[in-house]
Amino acid sequence: MSKEEFISKIKRLSEEKYQYGFASDIDSNTAPKGLSEDIIRFISAQKKEPEWLLERRLKAYRHWLTLEEPHHWGKISYPPIDYQDIYYYASPKKQNAPKSLDEVDPDLLEAYKKLGIPLKEQEVLAGVAVDAVFDSVSVATTYKDRLKKMGIIFCSMGEAVQEYPELIKEYMGTVVPYMDNYFACLNSAVFSDGTFVYIPKGVRSPMDLSSYFRMNTKKAGQFERTLIVADEDSYVSYLEGCTAPQRDENQLHGAVVEIVVKDRAEVKYSTVQNWFPGDKNGQGGIYNFVTKRGVCFDDAKLSWTQVETGSAITWKYPSCVLKGDRSRGEFYSVALTNNYQQADTGTKMIHLGKETSSLIISKGISAGNSNSTYRGLVRFSKNAKNAKNSSKCDSLLIGNKCGAHTVPVFEDASKTAVLEHEATTSKISEDQLFYLEQRGLTEEQATALIVNGFCKEVMQKLPMEFAVEAVSLIGLTLEGSVG
Amino acid sequence: MPLLEIKNLRTSIGKREILKGVNLTIEAGTTHVIMGPNGSGKSTLSNVIVGNPLYQVSEGEILFKGKNLVEMTPDIRANEGVFMAFQNPVEVEGVSYASFLKQALNAKRAYLNLPPLDAMHFLKHIKMRAEALNISNDLLKRFLNVGFSGGEKKRMETLQMAVLEPDFCILDELDSGLDVDALKEVSVGVNLMKEKQRAFLLITHYEKLLEYVKPDFVHILKDGRLVQSGGKELADKVYKEGFGVFE
């Protein structure tokens, strides 16, 4: 983009007046399409946010206008997104702050049921507290009271802004600042809702905290903001799972997850991502452009586990900033792509403290015409004396039209780093498939079995209820990949 | 109706014809052996019956319970009741033997419109059979064939056979790579499986196995054709005189 185009874009965007008269639309609680300062003010007003937060949003928005969209980056390419053709705020109708599940719109509950997330049963059976995000507003939160007694805060970001503004003000944006990257910046301007978790000093969360995200309203770009703060000597395991119904048009998802792990605390963050990947010809699907990062203080530990099977494009690098001495970061990843999916994912381990350590285990599986890239950065700063990293990146190819790429980058300014790196690429052998088929498995079942075996090291890091879902997801995603 | 009927079977790999018109009828409750020199087409025959995609059938039929196997995918043949104990069972990392067996058994049950076995009933189902075959639980917990000795792999093939209960079992070079003790143990497993609704086809070029698994019929395969059929005495003849005497 030339400087002139640049200036005219800023001019155009900033002069653009809101053209739909959304004051009359307020009943629907949906902001009209498009992005402008007015829209941001609308979102902020709808959420009754304090002035400082609106200012932060506007600051991010103004910065975003100066940025250029990175639509050819790494192995990813996609047509430019029309940001004026997206709804930035939508909430389900009849939403009236339900106090219990009984007050939740039965249609919403039905939709969750179809997604296999029966909140009611989950409440009883799974012992998992759920903060369910339907489009942009939380409609149900369970187990909050029990957690509250321990001092654990687990609520929607919207609620947190109202109830715990000082915590939000203190931590939000400290791990992923608004100028970090194009999509994180956009998120900082327009984030709709998300989850806030605070674990007080010395407290171990008695259950996995789980948040299910779902997109529903047509063209509702989702910009969640998740913030987890684990205070000294605390522990929490957080699960994030995603599903979206089939759509023809691309939907943009630009979430930001920030995690603060204080001295000697430990956070486990697990994700199963199975958003609509587009059809078998590559039409439709979600653009999943996410920024996830955590910072670890002394002796703290953060581990990311992800199973990525969905989205047309996945673009994320859950990272650990190992700021404190002896802190540890772990990254376990399965990225499975089929048809025309693209995945460019990996991690960044930034070693700043002494004797910090990190572990990376990445399993990439490509089928159909898809492309999967592992991209990782392990950086040892000058002060990160005697730090170490171990990385293992394996790729598995199914068929002849897919691609797998591994781009590991190591930088050592400490001169004392210990590095182990191992990478393999393999194909499923005809012999293996035939053997399993001779035992009565279809080619697809046989493939899924081999793929699940290949991912074992990562899958076993998932909490039990997630692991089961993830195994069946792998089978689902591989449908049509063989034969 | 015979359990298996092979009619004028011709197959090739690429342009090379391997089986040049094989005819063979196997009745339920019988044990057959095919012997032949290296390259005679023994392994081809067994692989063609189970539908290995590496081999193309150019002519002929393989009727199993009256249905032509040639038109079925390998998994359907398996679920119809055709089993092959592999000469070289493959290894699959990350897949536990027990979970693989459970999936295989439930695939067959689904094909037969039976409900899947839950974990408890499945464990009972395999435990009983593993004990009968003197197979330790540890092998079931390990990844499929990974790091197994030759003997362990072969014994586990017989366990799979016992678990899946096929009507027609091909034992492809079951004796290869086994010492006498292991061979005995594997044979016990096979003999336990002998029942009147089931038939066996043993592929071997080595008669030792036949001391433990008694065949009803012996066939000599040479250059893609069955050149002679008879009883156990044929195997003795091979032992004494080699394959040269058969034309």
Q: Which structural domain range is residue B59 located in?
A: 4-245
> In the predicted model, what is the mean pLDDT of residues B207-233?
90
- What is the count of residue pairs from A and B with beta carbons less than 8 Å apart? 77
- Chain Cα centroid distance, residue B200: 7
Q: What's the DSSP call for residue B89?
A: P
User: Residue A193 in contact with residue A158, Cβ under 8 Å?
Assistant: yes
> How many domains is chain B partitioned into structurally?
1
Q: At B75, is the secondary structure helix, strand, or coil?
A: helix
Out of A48-52, B136-140, B240-244, least confident range? B240-244
SS (H, E, C) B30-41: CEEEEECCCCCC
CA B238 to each of CA A151, B22, B31, B34, B247: distance values in angstroms, whole numbers, following the listed order: 83, 20, 18, 12, 13
Indicate yes or no: CB of A440 within 8 angstroms of CB of B93.
no
User: Residue A416 in contact with residue A354, Cβ under 8 Å?
Assistant: no
User: Residue A303 in contact with residue A462, Cβ under 8 Å?
Assistant: no
Chain A CB within 8 Å of residue B161 CB: no
Contacts of A482 in chain B (CB under 8 A): none
**pLDDT tens-digit map of A379-436:** 999 999 999 999 999 999 988 888 889 999 999 999 999 999 999 998 888 899 999 9
**pLDDT tens-digit map of B106-126:** 999 999 999 999 888 999 999
Chain B CB within 8 Å of residue A426 CB: no
Contacts of A452 in chain B (CB under 8 A): 94-95
d(CA A254, CA A346): 17
pLDDT in the model for residue A217: 40
Chain B CB within 8 Å of residue A434 CB: yes
Chain B residues 177-236 within an 8 A CB cutoff of chain A: none
- Output the domain CATH number for residue B105: 3.40.50.300
Radius of gyration of chain B (CA): 18
d(CA A13, CA A38): 11
In a mutational test of the B interface, the residue from A439, A450, A482 whose CB has the highest number of chain B CBs within 10 Å is: A439
pLDDT in the model for residue A119: 53
Higher-confidence residue of B143 and A483: namely B143
User: Residue A261 in contact with residue A227, Cβ under 8 Å?
Assistant: no
Q: Two tokens at A245?
A: 């119904």
Nearest CB to A438; choose among B84, B93, B111: B84
Higher-confidence residue of B79 and B239: namely B79
Q: What is the pLDDT along chain A (483 residues), one digit of tens a residue?
A: 454 554 454 444 333 332 322 333 334 466 778 889 998 998 898 889 999 999 999 999 999 999 988 877 777 778 888 888 887 876 544 344 445 556 555 555 554 555 455 454 444 333 334 455 444 444 345 566 778 889 999 888 888 999 999 999 999 999 999 999 999 999 999 998 888 999 999 999 988 887 654 344 444 457 889 999 999 999 999 988 755 444 445 578 889 999 999 999 999 999 888 777 777 787 778 888 899 999 999 999 999 999 888 888 888 999 999 999 999 999 999 998 888 888 899 999 999 999 999 999 999 999 888 888 999 999 999 999 999 999 999 999 988 888 889 999 999 999 999 999 999 998 888 899 999 999 999 998 999 899 999 999 898 888 876 777 777 777 767 766 664
Chain A residues 270-299 within an 8 A CB cutoff of chain B: none
d(CA A133, CA A251): 17
pLDDT in the model for residue A129: 45
DSSP string of B186-226, one letter each residue: HHHHHHHH--TT-EEEEEES-TTHHHHS--SEEEEEETTEE
d(CA A199, CA A154): 9
Beta-strand pair A301-308/A266-274: parallel
d(CA B85, CA B92): 16
User: Residue A335 in contact with residue A75, Cβ under 8 Å?
Assistant: no
Phi-psi region of B238 (alpha: psi -120 to 50; beta: other; left: phi over 0): alpha
pLDDT in the model for residue A360: 96
pLDDT in the model for residue A482: 61
Chain B CB within 8 Å of residue A2 CB: no
User: Residue A344 in contact with residue A373, Cβ under 8 Å?
Assistant: yes
d(CA A196, CA A175): 14
- Chain Cα centroid distance, residue B230: 21
pLDDT in the model for residue A1: 46
Q: Two tokens at A315?
A: 């673009």
* CA nearest to A455 within chain B: B94
**pLDDT tens-digit map of B32-43:** 999 998 889 999
DSSP string of A209-254, one letter each residue: EEEEEE--STTB-B--EEEEEE-TT-EEEEEEEEE----SS-EEE-
In a mutational test of the A interface, the residue from B50, B95, B157 whose CB has the highest number of chain A CBs within 10 Å is: B95
Alpha helices (H) along A307-442:
430-438
Phi, psi of A71 (to 5 degrees): -90, 5
Contacts of A432 in chain B (CB under 8 A): 90, 92
User: Residue A293 in contact with residue A263, Cβ under 8 Å?
Assistant: no
Q: How many CB atoms lie within 10 A of CB A177?
A: 13
In a mutational test of the A interface, the residue from B47, B69, B72, B75 whose CB has the highest number of chain A CBs within 10 Å is: B75
Q: At A129, is the secondary structure helix, strand, or coil?
A: strand
pLDDT in the model for residue A134: 47
d(CA B48, CA A160): 66
Indicate yes or no: CB of A439 within 8 angstroms of CB of B92.
no
Contacts of B164 in chain A (CB under 8 A): 439-440
Contacts of B83 in chain A (CB under 8 A): 438
> In the predicted model, what is the mean pLDDT of residues B102-106?
94
Q: How many CB atoms lie within 10 A of CB A145?
A: 9
pLDDT in the model for residue A15: 36
Residue with tokens 């040049």: B20
